[in-house]
Structure 1
Amino acid sequence: MHGNSPKTLRQDLLAQRKQFVASASFALKKAAVLTNLVRFIADWDAHIQSIALYCPIQDELDVRPTLLAWADSKAGKTLALPFARQDKHLDFYAWQEGDLLIPSRHGVLEPDPNNPRRPQVMPDCILIPCVGWSESRVGDKTHYWRLGYGGGYFDRTLAQLRKTKPNLLCVGIGFNWQKLNAPQWQAQTHDEPLDAMLTESGLLIKT
């Protein structure tokens, strides 16, 4: 375990991300991730009518322009943003550019759950930003895991949603340098696996 503390690991990764965003290589790698995102949603277009995305914080990659272009170019496609409930689960509400968003207690911009024009959505695909990520193999099976901010919101939400929507597609968004090895971090029993991981190298899919 990194410094005997996941908290220390997160702090180090967030500091590295700030430096990475300011580096000369960031623009090229950002463009590669977004290109791969466009390719992914084109390849999976027939299976995806609604995508839950996120409002970026702490130097997370902003995927909103890419997803807005997708939704605008396709009839019947819906975008949604997460709303954090008091019980540390997430609900998703339809979102369009220009909607009023409200900062949560964590500083994340969220939709207004009381907006009658933006109903709650059960997304087909959820895009989740990663502080770090890892890969594990058991026999011939490969799994991808997300290290987040430690609140457990996505893990609780995915565990619940997958019971009612087993074909839900959960995709982590990150960069190759954020990949962690086993001595640094290993997923815990309560962690929910990602269905795929999207980086500048392309889409890595769980097998």
Structure 2
Amino acid sequence: MANDRDGEGPAQYSSPPCFMHELDPGFRAPLTDWTDVRRWRKAERERLIAARLAVSADTRTAMSQRIAEGLDAMIGDIADRLVSLYWPFRGEPDLRPWMASVNERGGRTALPVVIEKGQPLVFRTYKPGDRLEKGVWNIPIPAEGEPVLPDIVISPIVGIDPGKYRLGYGGGFFDRTLAAMPFRPLVIGVGYELQRIPTIYPQPHDIPMSEVVTEFTVA
């Protein structure tokens, strides 16, 4: 290999630095431009949702049960606590049985509602059996229910990184909502282990989860 000591100029390599991923498959070039980050997030979002949907329904049901057990272990006594959950969408963990159990054990539950694009979510009280109507993306939302501020917010993830930053669906509703709340609730991201990623390239507007629960770990 040529080198400076031989007077033949700088060393030459089989791959230039921009091909570092050939040497280390885990290498990711840093993204600093928001346009590039948004483009990357869109592609990563599509990849992770497809991977989630590729898991069989029976397996997702079993993983959802383990996530519910992890939530119980993390939260402890649920009596007199108000928990916001979500209606499962595109292969997300189905925590509706756990929602019912929260109400049976003396807790209260709510669901998030999109009121307007670019605005924070509103939480409305909901328990299994209450009347629902179609909301954004045809996701069911409470037809009635008083606006509330939950003590605990359970948020589904599309991806999650080691800093507990959540990759969502790109609407910004979740971060906007947390920033507008008068107090910080316990925010728990829930998802599957396959949704863990090295980074979401967090931006100043991104707010990390307090905790993360998957079918395998509470971290």
- Shorter chain as denominator, the TM-score bin is 0.7 to 0.9
Q: 1:154 aligns with which of 164, 174, 180?
A: 174
1:68-88 Cα offsets, whole Å, 9 max, x none, are 1121122xx210011111143
Q: Which moved more, 1:61-70 or 1:146-155?
A: 61-70
Q: What TM-score, normalized by structure 2, do the two folds share?
A: 0.76
Displaced runs of 4 or more, over 6 A: none
Hey, what does 2:110 align to over in structure 1?
A: 80
Cα RMSD (Å) of the superposition? 2.1
Which structure carries more relative contact order (alpha carbon 8 Å, separation 6+)? 1
Residue of structure 1 in register with 2:146 after alignment: 119
**CA–CA separation in structure 2 for the residues paired with 1:3 and 1:80:** 30
CA contact (8 A) 2:157 2:190 kept: yes
Q: CA 1:108–1:186 in structure 2 vs 1: closer, same or farther (change >3 Å)?
A: same
Structure-2 change in CA distance of 1:30 and 1:79 (3 Å): closer
- 1:136-183 Cα deviation digits (max 9, x unpaired): 3xxxxxxx111000000000000111xx113x111000111111113x
Residue from 184, 187, 190 that aligns with 1:170: 187
Residues 1:99 and 2:116 aligned together: no
Distance 1:67 1:40 in 2: 15
Report the counterpart of residue 78 of structure 2 in structure 1: 45
Distance 1:177 1:119, change over 3 A: same
CA separation of 1:81 and 1:5: change in aligned 2, threshold 3 A: same
In the other structure, the counterpart of 1:11 is 46
Number of residue pairs aligned between Structure 1 and Structure 2: 183
- 2:61/2:94 contact within 8 Å kept: no
Long gaps (5+) in structure 1: 137-143
Question: Partners of 2:136 and 2:66 in 1: how far apart?
Answer: 33
